[in-house]
Amino acid sequence: MAQKNFETSMKRLEDIVHELEKGDLPLEESLKVFEEGMRLIKFCSEKLEEVEQKVTMLVKEGDTGYVHRPFDIEKNEEDL
């Protein structure tokens, strides 16, 4: 099996949503596809959390220079 990445997982998840919305699949196949979608959601959520933890911003602290701080999405949305 090819290694999963975020982009291909999101594309497959989008395809799954469209398949299920059509309503053409038999019940057993719908359940199988739904379970695959749930696994993909878990994978994508974990990847997003992983990336969020890695994202840092350089913040100038007075005259002492720059420090690394975790990215705070709520704080940065207020600045928009």
Residue 46 backbone phi and psi in degrees, to 5 = -65, -40
> Which residue type sits at 51?
V
Q: Let me know if residue 1 belongs to a domain.
A: no
User: Exposed (0-12), middle (13-18) or buried (19+): which is 40, by Cβ within 10 Å?
Assistant: buried
pLDDT of 7 higher than 90: yes
Q: How many domains does the chain have?
A: 1
Q: Let me know if residue 59 belongs to a domain.
A: yes
Q: What is the pLDDT of residues 21-36, one digit of tens each?
A: 999 999 999 999 999 9
Confidence tier at 51 by pLDDT (50, 70, 90): confident
Domain residue limits at 31: 6-78
Q: Which is higher by pLDDT, 37 or 4?
A: 37
